[in-house]
Amino acid sequence: MAVIIDGKKCAEEILDNLKDKISKLEKKPSLAVILANDNPSSKIYVDNKEKVSMELGIKSSVYRFDKSITQGELIKLIHELNADKNINGILVQLPLFEHLNSQEIIELINPKKDVDGFHPINVGRLNCGLEPYAVCCTPKGIIKLLKKYKINLVGKNVVVIGRSNIVGKPIATLLTNENATVTLAHSKTKKLKEITKNADVIVSATGHPKLIKADMVKKGAVVIDVGITKQINGKLAGDVDFEKVKNVASYITPVPKGVGPMTIACLMENTYELYLKQKA
């Protein structure tokens, strides 16, 4: 049976450490969060980000909008937040309402306040092997988990499934920077099973429950599940057929309590780190 990677515990350690550091600061870090979508999952994520910020002593201001928000109003808000010396991090929860252009908004965020690491300057720096102001939270959290469990990546065959800007592409880059041999598979990939069967590490970020079955996984492989899909029964499902795959893998992340808590811990860490960089 695989070792179950405890993302919740690892995240709590990061948060405890941050709480301690923040408690010693006279002026506290601050995070602005924009929610312009009525998607229930996005609301839950944003509420959770607000709650954890408060527990840590990070000041969070959440801007919640209904469908009447215009692109122009959002642009104006980003300019105000960029200019506000009391704001260290800006997060635009994705996706935005369909009538809004999220890429234009992301590109207007000051890269030094881009707590998600989504701005092309930060993505570009990551791709060049330079230090970005912030690294995308979920990919950063995955690397931290792999390191915590001392999983060696050098020269390993890693298959990432999903090519989103939020997870797939940046985790492929981070793993490449860790000297893994990375294959980036996606919805148009042919013969996925042949590719995953060869993988020492599988990172799945598709949102398709039970996409990764036991017969797609090599014995002893490490399986990282980034999928979070809310099922009809209200429970969360990952991309991986956990109950069966755990008998084949050497390490596996559960859903929930795997990658999810690490995303939020890394968001808090990024907020704190941006605060320090802006103060320096």
Q: Which residues bind ligand GUN (CB under 6 A)?
A: 91-94, 116, 137-138, 166, 263
* 38 catalytic per annotation: no
From 6, 114, 116, 241, active-site residue = 116
| Complex with ligand GUN: residue 96 or 202, whichever CB lies closer | 96
Element (H, E) at 229: strand 229-230
Element (H, E) at 170: helix 168-177
Cα end-to-end distance, the chain, whole Å: 48
Which spans in 24-155 are helix H?
40-56, 71-83, 102-108, 120-127, 137-148
From 6, 93, 113, 114, active-site residue = 93
**Edge-to-edge strand order for the sheet containing 157-161?**
3-4, 251-252, 222-225, 201-204, 157-161, 181-185
Rounded to the nearest angstrom, the gap between the alpha carbon of residue 13 and the centroid of all alpha carbons in its chain is 17
| Complex with ligand GUN: residue 114 or 200, whichever CB lies closer | 114
Q: Is residue 262 a contact partner of residue 11, using CB atoms and an 8 Å limit?
A: yes
| Complex with ligand GUN: residue 29 or 260, whichever CB lies closer | 260
* 93 catalytic per annotation: yes
User: Residue 71 CB, nearest distance to ligand GUN (Å)?
Assistant: 17
| Complex with ligand GUN: residue 18 or 92, whichever CB lies closer | 92
User: Residue 42 CB, nearest distance to ligand GUN (Å)?
Assistant: 7
User: Residue 266 CB, nearest distance to ligand GUN (Å)?
Assistant: 9
Q: Which residue is nearest to ligand GUN (CB)?
A: 94
| Complex with ligand GUN: residue 132 or 241, whichever CB lies closer | 132
Q: Are strands 236-237 and 229-230 parallel, antiparallel or unpaired?
A: antiparallel
User: Residue 272 CB, nearest distance to ligand GUN (Å)?
Assistant: 17
Q: Is residue 161 a contact partner of residue 172, using CB atoms and an 8 Å limit?
A: no
User: Residue 36 CB, nearest distance to ligand GUN (Å)?
Assistant: 11
Q: Report the C-alpha gap between 18 and 6 in whole angstroms.
A: 19
Q: Is residue 131 a contact partner of residue 73, using CB atoms and an 8 Å limit?
A: no
| Complex with ligand GUN: residue 18 or 249, whichever CB lies closer | 18
Q: Is residue 249 a contact partner of residue 28, using CB atoms and an 8 Å limit?
A: no
User: Residue 231 CB, nearest distance to ligand GUN (Å)?
Assistant: 18
Element (H, E) at 193: helix 192-196
Catalytic center residues:
49, 93, 116
